[in-house]
Chain A
Amino acid sequence: MRIDSIEKLEKWRKECRRTFEARKRKVIVCLGEGCLANGSEEVFNEFKKQVAEKKIADVTVESVAKTGCHGFCALGPLVIIEPDGTFYTKVGKSDVAKIVDKTLVGHELIDKLLYTDAKTGEKVADYAKIPFYARQQRISLRHCGTIDPHKITDYIAMGGYAALGKALTAMTPQQVIDEVTKSGLRGRGGAGFATGKKWATCAKVQSDIRYVICNGDEGDPGAFSDRTTMGSDPHSVLEGMIICAYAVGSHQGYIYVREEYPLAVVTLQKAIDAAREHGLLGEKILGTDLSFDIKISRGGGAFVCGESSALMRSVAGAVGEPRAKYIRSVIKGLHDRPTVLNNVETYATVPAIIERGADWFAGIGTKKSTGTKVFSLAGKIKNTGLVEVPMGITLREIIFDIGGGVPDGRKFKAVQTGGPSGGCLPESKIDLPVDFDTLTEAGSMMGSGGMVIMDDRTCMVEVARYFLSFLVSESCGKCVPCREGLYQLRELCAKVCDGEATEDDLALMERLAKTIQVGSLCGLGQSGPNPFLSTLLYFRDEYLAHIRDKKCPGGVCRKLITYSITDACTGCMACISVCPVHAITGEKKKRHVLDTNLCDRCGSCYAVCKFEAIEIS
């Protein structure tokens, strides 16, 4: 069915809403990657089977719905029973029968599956009351976890494409640009460039062809919000892109999705096909003069392709090497045409701004960083997952109030933000309000919103070495400071980890880091030394401990630690079976012995010991 006018769109919406709301009681199973990894597909199928068999009055097979990622990945697979908002966590296939019998038929709660508030120890039934959700304000993620990403009707029912209709019929392209400018929206991809300004520049360049590209190459390790948005609410990305195309006068768009996200590609393709079928993409969108289509361009597994000029070369089928950006891509981008490149979260936010107005959006967040930002919480934190919060919220609120703090009773040490281009912030910076500018001032950056939390068992020098290794393997190799410089910096960092470095080496590292920052061709190289520089800034004592005392305070660096087995050993044999170099010997129920000469200090025994009988010194 082609929707060729606003009237038809609204009529269709009524139908969609009726179907969407028809099922009074619903069982929603999260099928985001996190829950999928824990077996949520089996749970979903089991629900369908059980519900069909048991014939419950107000719950039909159609009432069992799947959604994209709900954000609270730590507790997946997640199941929500609407309209009560009953929130079941870690649901296994074997739990399904009980849920059907007790909750769906008997309207009872199953305590075991409910969320336990970490502070009070109480069970919380309604997910809206869980701190993880209660503190969030979802704009970009507004539909994630509530709609089936494969159903355009779900999106329409939730008010989808209304913003596009509004833009196309009630606004001129200039008014759209003005609205986005007024909202203060800044690019969510990392650098935080003003989106409205970018669109305005592109629209002004004389050209018959302009391109709109969505950067879905979320390469920062530790960030996964774009994957979620593309996979759980693809239409809001499309809608944002179409609005942008209207504003700047483009007929062709591309979504560049990284190779590592196969599910997102499938979901996006389905969404594009559905939008095309309904006249929301292609010729004469919604019966207006706007013609615009979107193609998916799959990445090839190269972090550097997140850099705009490399990305555009990759879209054109070439090696993703960046070029010096003295002519900005917004003027001369893909195929040398003016090109608007924004990231997934930015586009997904646009429809909300058009619909609810720039003032509403600008009223959220801080003055210079308006709106909300999605953060991916991972690492040593209880509530791993995705959260969307207003800009200006402190790191403490995100990590401790929403994220639940560090697990296993360990101490918070640092939070890494912004991926390999960002930095590590220590506890002294934890009350920093999070926005584009404060993070940069503190020596880190927003990046794509990844936050990896580290506890006191982390060695910051080793973390720097890890990031440098990442960058060495991801550098395109075009320019010397990045190709040779990061390699040498990594080697020097490894030398520190091995306890073989001197203070002169540290000075050399600082000198080299500066040259890499200033001398590199693209952003990857220029920001490459950040993880090293920020750890040095806040954890210089750890570097010095490695150098002067030959000690690794985090107990990580292999050459500087030894493992031993204490009296707490119960003789469970777990460490013996896991030791790759067979350095541990012993019998069942007898204290095991570790041969330090054989031990290569990998830490496998420490990781598997349930009795804290492995000691690091």
Chain B
Amino acid sequence: MVQMTINGKVVKATEGEMLLAVIRRQGIDVPALCDHAAVEPCGSCRMCLVEITREDWNGWKKYVTSCLYPSEDGLIVTTHTPELQEIRRNILDLYMARCPGSELIQKMGEEYGLTRTSFKTIPEGDNCIMCYACTRICEVLGRSAISAVRRGHAKVISGPFGDPPPDCIGCLSCAHICPTDVIEWHDQDGVRGIWGRTFDLIACQQCGKTIITRDFAEYLKEKRQIPADYFDICDDCKRVELARKMGGLVDQAKEVAS
């Protein structure tokens, strides 16, 4: 355990635990867009910058992304100085120019007093904030079907060659993790569409309800040894079946008893 000061309050944390988690545990709201517990922190959105210093730094201080900075003994953390708020505001200002259609960005900007961007709206801008959450989650999943392509301002997230990604299994993890909901997908007539590809959804053999794609089920079967027939029936029908089975046993027991 280490002891730190966050906004003047002494707090305890596990050594190495990232500052952002500790800060949030204190109920302090530090914004972060690219952070997600399921993926390694990457520090791309810069919103979670905090100011740190130490007693022995003689007044010297620096800004660090709290999602990436491990807790250490004696750290003095400040999360909401006017300078930090100014940086966050300017970053949101930049985001607003890039992602004019994102409700989330718009809402966050408003919290910092921004109604419209001070900069030139980027003509080819979409709502992608390039936080890499999608590519990181796909990597954790073990597929890495999509990746960041090109560099700098021209960077986009895409499948290889800009084509529908061959390694995609249609699990939707990327779409769900995306903070600005920019990854389009749809389920229709037993088919899921995402990244320009279509995937067969497994229809429940009893009621026809669909949950995941066949490719995803195959992948789970192979990677995690889940028996294939587990995916044949939907959760609703499985529960009914369980009730019927258990009920049958109860009835049997009753008969035996009587």
Contact = CB atoms under 8 A, between A and B. Distances in A.
Interface of A: 302, 319, 323-324, 326, 472-481, 483-485, 487-488, 491-492, 508, 511-512, 515, 518-521
Contacts of A474: 152
Interface string B60-75: 0001110011100000
Nearest to B49: A519
A487 B70 contact: no
Contact of A491 (B42, B63, B120): B120
Given A324-B64, A481-B94, A521 B152 contact: no
Contacts of A302: 151
A483 B65 contact: no
B91 A477 contact: no
A473 B148 CA distance: 16
18 contacts: A302-B151, A323-B43, A472-B152, A475-B152, A476-B152, A477-B130, A478-B44, A479-B46, A480-B95, A481-B90, A483-B152, A484-B94, A508-B118, A508-B119, A511-B86, A512-B119, A518-B87, A519-B90
A488 B151 contact: no
B46 A477 contact: no
A373 to B, nearest CB: 28
Given A326-B70, A488-B97, A488-B119, A480 B153 contact: no
A487 B97 CA distance: 11
A420 to B, nearest CB: 13
B192 interface: no
Contacts of B83: 518
List the 5 closest pairs (A to B, CB-CB), nearest first.
A477-B155, A515-B90, A475-B152, A484-B94, A477-B152
Interface string B113-131: 0000011101000000110
B46 A521 contact: yes
B98 interface: yes
A487 B69 CA distance: 28
Most buried by A among B87, B132, B151: B151
Contacts of B148: 319, 477
Contacts of B63: 518-519
B13 interface: no
Interface in B77-104: 83, 86-87, 90-91, 94-95, 97-98
B91 A480 contact: yes
A481 B97 contact: no
A475 to B, nearest CB: 4
B44 A515 contact: no
Interface string B133-176: 00000000000000010111111000000000000000000000
B45 interface: yes
Nearest to A491: B120
B65 A324 contact: yes
Given A476-B151, A481-B91, 13 more contacts: A319-B148, A324-B69, A478-B42, A479-B43, A483-B153, A485-B90, A511-B86, A512-B94, A515-B90, A515-B91, A518-B49, A521-B43, A521-B44
Contacts, number: 94
Given A302-B151, A515-B87, A480 B120 contact: no
Interface of B: 42-46, 49, 63-65, 68-70, 83, 86-87, 90-91, 94-95, 97-98, 118-120, 122, 129-130, 132, 148, 150-155
Contacts of A480: 44-46, 91, 94-95, 129-130
A90 B14 CA distance: 68
B90 A512 contact: yes
B52 to A, nearest CB: 10
Contacts of A476: 151-152
A324 B86 contact: no
Q: Is the interface of A mostly helix, strand, loop or mixed?
A: helix
A484 B97 contact: yes
A485 B155 CA distance: 14
A326 B41 CA distance: 13
B130 A483 contact: yes
A333 B178 CA distance: 30
Contacts of B151: 302, 475-477
A476 B43 CA distance: 14
A186 B118 CA distance: 42
Contacts of A324: 43, 64-65, 68-69
Nearest to A520: B46
Contact of A326 (B68, B94, B97, B130): B68
A483 B45 CA distance: 11
Contact of A487 (B42, B150, B153): B153
A511 B89 CA distance: 11
Contacts of A518: 49, 63, 83, 87
A405 to B, nearest CB: 37
Contacts of B70: 326
Contacts of A515: 86-87, 90-91
Contacts of A484: 94-95, 97-98, 153
Nearest to A490: B153
Contacts of A472: 152-153
A80 to B, nearest CB: 44
Nearest to A479: B44
A508 to B, nearest CB: 6
B210 to A, nearest CB: 36
Nearest to A327: B70
A323 B65 CA distance: 11
A519 B130 contact: no
Nearest to A319: B148
Most buried by A among B63, B91, B148, B150: B91
B33 to A, nearest CB: 9
Contacts of A323: 43
A285 B69 CA distance: 41
B126 to A, nearest CB: 13
A473 B46 contact: no
A519 B153 contact: no
B76 to A, nearest CB: 16
Nearest to B41: A324
Contacts of B42: 478
Most buried by B among A478, A512, A521: A478
Contacts of A479: 43-46
A520 B62 CA distance: 12
A478 B120 CA distance: 21
A607 to B, nearest CB: 31
B153 to A, nearest CB: 5
Nearest to A489: B119
A473 B44 CA distance: 18
B87 A519 contact: yes
